[in-house]
Amino acid sequence: MREKHRFFGNIVVGVLALQGDVIEHRRALDLVGVKSKEVKVPSDLESIDGLIIPGGESTTLSLLVELGGMFDVIGEKIAGRMPIFGTCAGLIMLSKEIIDGRRDQKSFEVFEVSVKRNGYGRQLDSFEAPIALDGTSPPNYPGVFIRAPAVVSLGDKVEVLGKVIKDESPVLIRQGRILGATFHPELTDDLRVHELFISMIEEV
Ligand code: GLN
């Protein structure tokens, strides 16, 4: 196990624990040296400094968030500028427009992007490809894409922080305190993306 390299004081990151890669995100946060907590009911949101919505299946997540009465409370936290990070299905849950979504599927509609579910096509449902994390460094971030959404358009406020070299599409994007990845940083040992999210929490 990699040594925890920094002390992040009292930061606690919530991981929405209704479905998907919850344990994997908590493991990555642990390796970064940050405390984490599962968020299952509205009151769990009270003591967190940032929230991760993990990958899984966005139609199921939408249903479970609705059944759990979490749309409004999480929406209020986002409006209150709590940092939030959506990975894969979690990014779909934040996006203003979902292409090929299920008719009854909902999202928080805060990220000014349009995402296409399963946007890399059936044959390439899942693949691994290096990501260039900024314009200058070599593409050396191990991108794991699992039935990943494709970002098809971006609003003016959205910054592209990473592109997959396969087709140069944006895969890591940021709009103020909202971060989104179409890939799964929690499934690799490269902690740079989680560290970036923690630095966004530290800026608050
Ligand atoms: N294709 C899934 C969806 O639409 C997302 C896949 C994932 O999160 N790995 O929700």
190 Cβ below 6 A of ligand 1: no
The model's pLDDT over 36-88, given as tens digits with 9 standing for 90+, comes to 999 999 999 999 999 999 999 999 999 999 999 999 999 999 999 999 999 99
Ligand 1 binding pocket includes 58 (Cβ within 6 Å)? yes
**Residue 180 C-alpha to ligand 1 middle, in angstroms?**
13
In short, whether 118's Cβ falls inside 6 Å of ligand 1 is yes
**What gap in Å lies between CA 111 and CA 128, rounded to an integer?**
25
Q: Give the position, in ligand 1's atom list, of the atom nearest the Cα of 146.
A: 9
Measure 20 CA to ligand 1 centroid, in angstroms.
Answer: 9
Confidence of residue 5 (pLDDT cuts 50, 70, 90): low
Q: Which two tokens stand for residue 82?
A: 């709590």
**Region 26-31 average pLDDT:** 97
Asked if residue 149 lies in contact with residue 192, where contact means CB atoms within 8 angstroms, the answer is no
Which of 194, 89, 193 lies closest to 145 in space, CA to CA? 89
Indicate if the pLDDT at residue 182 is higher than 80. Answer: yes
Q: Is the CB of 116 under 6 A from ligand 1?
A: no
Mean confidence (pLDDT) of the chain: 93
| Whether the Cβ atoms of residue 155 and residue 110 lie closer than 8 Å to each other | no
Q: In what order do the strands lie in the sheet with 111-116?
A: 95-99, 111-116, 150-154
Residue type, 38: E
Would you say residue 9 has pLDDT above 80?
Answer: no
Residue 1 confidence class, pLDDT cut points 50, 70, 90: very low
Percentage, residues of the chain above pLDDT 70: 95
Distance from Cα 4 to the centre of ligand 1, integer Å? 30
State yes or no: is 194 an active-site residue. Answer: no
Q: Which of 188, 177, 95, 193 is nearest to 145 (CA)?
A: 188
Q: Which domains does the chain have, with CATH numbers?
A: 12-203 (3.40.50.880)
Cα angle vertex 174, ends 45, 138, to 5°?
Answer: 125
- Residue from 16, 92, 124, 183 whose mutation best tests the ligand 1 pocket (most atoms within 8 A of CB): 92
| pTM, 2 dp | 0.95
pLDDT tens digit string along 13-26?
A: 999 999 999 999 99
- Cβ of 89 closer than 6 Å to ligand 1, yes or no, is yes
